[in-house]
């Protein structure tokens, strides 16, 4: 039966594929693909776990006291029957053979299938046996993870062998989960999935941001998707509308395949702009920079036509490490790799921005677990955490400084809200420089910038500009804190509004104050990569945009078609409007009706 689910559209385009469910479990389960040569070993692991659990259950039954209720041995017998039932173990084996899932993933997948069958039973007694099945599977999972401990979710970069199915050809895969942690999204970047769906999240939650960076369709905040969708269902993700179609009819499938082909043609057309200079119709040069998470992202930034890195999110070097933070030398090698890969173009490295939707396994030396904070978004995060861990912070600062000997490096400080934080950061940087001088390790002087992410920073920006060389506006958090909206919470996602007049006024004010002080200013939040805001940001005076590489061509196309001077003349009209988005739409229509003649040197490009 075909049906639709609705969520938030966070990454445009169409994805079609088989559902791969990451089921919720009381036991953490590793999910990865195995190769052909590992199939028998995984089946052997499953058999060993089954034999171990069977022995446990037999021992429990044997050691029951004489006065134990009669129901207890009967219950253990039920568990033993379930353990050896081909519907569980035999089908799990087939997941391993056919889809090349590891044993834990295969077992979880089959539990999902059987649990749904139990839910559909009319007999109350039989329906309640689902709990017994879950207990048996939990025992099996614990048996498999007993030696090494339970693993976090991970994704193998190697795809499983595809088979010909109902709709023909190879089967692409779509990931369906309750949520995907930012650290796990690093694995997702190298995986085989062509799109993903999550139950929770907002348009600027980190899973959504990474989806846009991958330029793959995604829908978040789809509520019960991971419960309703079944393993191996055919799915269509409409990333433009935020719709998921489950088991589509052949006619609907063909319609979306056509849309897929159209999207691919549009991407190919836009890619031709990557080496075209970014200049507005009235001759204003605009700098298009890239946001990256890891050094390996730098080649993609160059390929997309970025003229530098406007945001290197260093916190991703700290994730998926089981609490062990990277040392100075490891960080230095990572930063140097990115700097060298950019071939002399500037690289702006943000100090570790841990917290809120990006917690570490170990937040401090006393193992403060950030997720236990009452409100992580308002807690010990970003520069606050760095200043609370001076040894770690100096290590990172020294590593960044050392990388500056290999190219143009800039340092960016996240979530600055107080002048004393700014002064403490600069003092820590001065100490790090002195330590490098004493150790005879080379470095260059670097520019230091502050992120404008909280309203307080925007309101005291003139004072901050006296301490910093540049500013970068992080619109994702600026919107969150201005509107008091948790951007990762789908229950309030409809209130997250980048078009809110207060947000636009803070952004415009920050850009104007930085330009007035003669300091460079960029926007590195999601607004920079959204073509809907390009003309408005240009009207505000912004001449430096930083975004995911996949977004550069779309934004460049808008820049090449924009007369920034004409838009600047209408800026106050938009900012004072009760509905800035509608005001911008009206301006688009007006300027389209009376277009400016493109400059000769760029008319061919657009």
Q: Which residues are annotated as a binding site for phosphoenolpyruvate?
A: 313, 350, 476-477, 487
Give me the long-range contacts of 590-598 (CB less than 8 A, separation at least 24): 591/563, 591/566, 591/567, 596/281, 596/282, 596/563, 596/566, 597/281, 598/281, 598/560, 598/561
Specify which residues 312 forms β-bridges with.
Answer: 292, 349
How many whole angstroms separate alpha carbon 475 and alpha carbon 467?
Answer: 21
Please answer whether residues 495 and 488 qualify as being in contact, where contact means their C-beta atoms are separated by less than 8 angstroms: no
Phi/psi of residue 235, each to 5°?
-130, 145
Of the candidates 230, 253, 216, the residue with the CA atom closest to the CA atom of residue 548: 216
Q: Encode burial over 266-292: b for 16+ CB neighbours within 10 A, e otherwise.
A: eeeebeebbebebbbbeebebbbbbbb
- Tokens for 148? 């090494």
Residue ranges of the alpha helices (H) in 276-316? 298-303
From the annotation, which residues make up the binding site for Mg(2+)?
453, 477
How many whole angstroms separate alpha carbon 43 and alpha carbon 59?
Answer: 24
Polymer length of the chain: 606
Of the candidates 293, 334, 326, the residue with the CA atom closest to the CA atom of residue 207: 293
SS3 content of the chain, % helix, strand, coil (to 5): 50, 15, 35
- The strand ranges marked E within 259-352 are 287-292, 309-313, 347-350
Q: Count the alpha carbons within 13 Å of 525 in the hemisphere toward its beta carbon.
A: 26
Beta strands 309-313 and 287-292, pairing class = parallel
Sheet strand arrangement including 8-11: 3-6, 243-246, 234-238, 14-22, 173-177, 193-198, 218-220, 8-11
Please answer whether residues 193 and 175 qualify as being in contact, where contact means their C-beta atoms are separated by less than 8 angstroms: yes
3-class secondary-structure state, position 316: helix
Specify which residues 347 forms β-bridges with.
Answer: 309, 409
Give me the helix-helix angle, 89-99 and 39-62, nearest 10°.
Answer: 160
Beta strands 234-238 and 309-313, pairing class = unpaired
Look-up: residue for tokens 């800039």?
410
How many whole angstroms separate alpha carbon 48 and alpha carbon 143?
Answer: 9
From the annotation, which residues make up the binding site?
313, 350, 453, 476-477, 487
Query: Which residues carry out catalysis?
Result: 206, 524
CA angle centred on 469, ends 553 and 557, rounded to 5°: 10
How many whole angstroms separate alpha carbon 260 and alpha carbon 172?
Answer: 13
3-class secondary-structure state, position 237: strand
How many whole angstroms separate alpha carbon 290 and alpha carbon 294?
Answer: 12
């Amino acid at each position: 039966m075909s049906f639709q689910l609705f969520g938030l559209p966070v990454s445009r385009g169409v994805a079609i594929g088989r559902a791969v469910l990451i089921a919720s479990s009381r036991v953490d389960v590793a999910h990865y693909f195995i190769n052909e040569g590992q199939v028998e070993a995984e089946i052997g692991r499953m058999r060993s776990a089954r034999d171990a659990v069977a022995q446990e259950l037999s021992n429990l039954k044997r050691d029951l006291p004489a006065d134990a209720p009669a129901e207890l041995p009967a219950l253990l017998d039920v568990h033993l029957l379930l353990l050896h039932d081909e519907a569980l173990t035999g089908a799990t084996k087939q997941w391993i053979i056919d889809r090349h899932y590891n044993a834990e993933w295969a077992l979880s997948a089959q539990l999902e299938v059987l649990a749904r069958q139990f839910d559909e039973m009319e007999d109350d007694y039989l329906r309640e046996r689902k709990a017994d099945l879950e207990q048996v599977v939990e025992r099996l999972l614990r048996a498999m993870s007993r030696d090494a401990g339970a693993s976090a979710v991970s994704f193998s970069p190697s795809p499983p062998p595809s088979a010909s199915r109902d709709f023909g050809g190879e089967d692409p895969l779509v990931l369906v989960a309750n949520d995907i942690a930012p650290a796990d999204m690093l694995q997702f970047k190298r995986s085989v999935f062509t799109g993903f769906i999550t139950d929770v999240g907002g348009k600027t939650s980190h899973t959504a941001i990474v989806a846009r960076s991958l330029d793959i369709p995604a829908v978040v905040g789809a509520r019960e998707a991971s419960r309703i969708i079944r393993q191996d269902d055919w799915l269509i993700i409409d990333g433009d509308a935020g719709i998921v179609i489950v088991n589509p009819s052949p006619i609907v499938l063909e319609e979306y395949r056509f849309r897929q082909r159209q999207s691919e043609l549009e991407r190919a057309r836009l890619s031709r702009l990557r080496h075209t200079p970014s200049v507005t119709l009235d001759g204003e040069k605009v700098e298009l920079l890239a946001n990256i998470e890891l050094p390996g992202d730098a080649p993609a930034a160059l390929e997309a036509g970025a003229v530098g890195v406007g945001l290197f999110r260093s916190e991703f070097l700290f994730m998926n490490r089981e609490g062990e933070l990277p040392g100075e030398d490891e960080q230095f090698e990572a930063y140097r790799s990115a700097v060298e890969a950019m071939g002399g173009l500037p690289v702006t490295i943000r100090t570790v921005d841990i917290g809120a939707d990006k917690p570490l396994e170990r937040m401090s030396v006393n193992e403060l677990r950030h997720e236990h904070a009452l409100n992580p978004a308002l807690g010990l995060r970003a520069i606050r955490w760095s200043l609370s861990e001076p040894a770690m912070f100096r290590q990172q600062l020294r590593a960044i400084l050392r990388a500056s000997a290999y190219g143009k490096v800039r340092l960016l400080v996240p979530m600055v809200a107080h002048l004393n934080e700014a002064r403490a950061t600069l003092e820590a940087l001065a100490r790090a420089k002195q330590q490098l001088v004493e150790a005879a390790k080379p470095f260059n002087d670097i520019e230091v910038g502050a992120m404008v992410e909280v309203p307080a920073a925007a309101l005291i920006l003139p004072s901050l500009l006296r301490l910093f060389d540049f500013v970068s506006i992080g619109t994702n958090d600026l919107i969150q804190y201005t509107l008091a909206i948790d951007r990762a919470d789908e229950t309030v996602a409809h209130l997250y509004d980048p078009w809110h007049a207060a947000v636009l006024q803070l952004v415009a004010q920050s850009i104007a104050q930085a330009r007035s002080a003669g300091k460079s200013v960029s926007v590195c939040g999601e607004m920079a990569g959204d073509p809907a805001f390009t003309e408005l940001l240009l009207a505000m005076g912004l001449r430096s945009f930083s975004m995911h590489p996949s977004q550069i061509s779309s934004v460049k196309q808008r820049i090449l078609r924009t007369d920034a001077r004409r838009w600047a003349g209408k800026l106050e009209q938009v900012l004072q409007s009760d509905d800035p988005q509608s005001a911008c739409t009206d301006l688009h229509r007006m300027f389209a009706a009376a277009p400016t003649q493109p400059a000769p040197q760029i008319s061919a490009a657009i």
